[in-house]
Structure 1
Amino acid sequence: MKGDQLLHRHYPEARFGGFSDVDGTVAFYSRVQALMTPESVVLDVGCGRGSGLQDDAVPWRRELRSLRGRCARVIGFDVDPDAASNPGLDEFHLLDSGEWPLADSSVDLIVSDFVLEHIDQPTEYFSEVFRVLKPGGVFCARTSNRIGYVGLFASLIPNRRHVQVLRRVQEDREAFDVFPTRYRVNTVWALRRALRKAGLEGIAYGYEAEPSYLGFSSLAYAFGRVVHSLTPSPLRTCLFVFARKPMASAE
């Protein structure tokens, strides 16, 4: 059974709009959009090529992902030079060191979508988040949970085999979009500590969307939906992070 058929069988509301009530992208970007204003300078860390803006078959999700034109400027950072082609950016910077090429207190909103699992130096990363955010600015992240079942399984697979395995469960996943996973800060507790250490005030919590990684089997998908409904927040497959730089940080 194909992915859309599984989605519609187990989440019948998806027949009306193309997305389920637990769609992680809709949930995450709805909050990002709520935090953004027309005057916001937005930084997309790990922006990628913008495949979600072009290839997502659901128009509403594409609209939610699209930040450009709804704020003052969207700046993109990535280690991949081809990310310069991302159509959702006004400005692109290639990252080749730990320090970000932006001035202190120059950004209103930072988006980091499935990037934290690839970070080697989380302390350095969150220090840069704090530095470039304006006082009152907000950091928004979505990432994998190292102790969720997907993260635990991924941890058992050598990085050199991630492309091979992911292509089995996500047939449309391109090899150039698969990066080594580190999981240095990928639990609810580690993220909360990292936020506090960096001086940010916020929350980190688990989120469970559809069991899309189990779409290779109708039985596995049905089992995954039940497991997802029973999983406590710290063990869910995905983590959401929303944090603010205190106004008192103004110099």
Structure 2
Amino acid sequence: MKNNDLNLPEFSQLTVKEVKKFTSELKVKKELPKIIEILNQDSRKGVQKIAARLERKIKKQQKIRAKWEQMNQLETELAAEGYQVIVGLDEAGRGPLAGPVVAAAVVLDPEAKIYGLDDSKKLSKKKREILFSKIKARAKVGIGQASSSEIDKYNIREATFVAMKRAVKDLLPELDQNPELLLVDGNAVIPNLTVEQKAVINGDADVNAIAAASIIAKVTRDNIIFEYAEKFPQYNFKSNKGYGTAEHIAALEKYGSSPIHRKSFGRVPE
């Protein structure tokens, strides 16, 4: 027996466990409020708790969507000014003692919203990887990196700019026309580029395109360092990701540096 036009089961004839199983698979869609209304009419406290959980699910989704709109404000304003190809740029790996610095350049499709974007450092590993796949599928992406030897050659700031330039170059074949504006996370733009740029402080937490770039850069760099972890197991890169943890420093003192360590960084031996 079905309940109304939504083709729902007759919840009153189901056990609380069966109701829980059915609702656990529900997505946040327009029929969900009606389902909650039906469940709230059930006298069983267990069913009413399920209804309350579904209400929290809706509120959480509304909050995520509101955050996306808030983080899209700058891009919306720029689009209204006539900018059509807006690139978000960010990097990962400025601070570690080993491995490359990786940058990403992302152009989002305004018709393919990716909810949940945020500064990659605020997201769990699982969430980053889910969003990484969504960004790769729905957006235009370019990736660039500068090696540890290039960091030693140029310094970390200049090497970061090198990685960003490579990310933009990697992005170009994906685009139908050249970028019109680069939104660069931080307080400085990339030197020696002819394309218009805008530095955005805390952009990875405030602007969707930059947040997407931060996720792409972070996951890409993590994957690179995990490969190095297999090659240089003595430094436990899988855990510290190249950062200067006490364990990492102790390993450097015991084994010396590897070919991927940044020799110009103070705590790294020659």
Q: TM-score, normalised by structure 2?
A: 0.25
Structure with greater proportional strand content: 1
Structure with greater proportional helix content: 2
Q: TM-score, normalised by structure 1?
A: 0.26
Structure with greater Cα Rg: 2
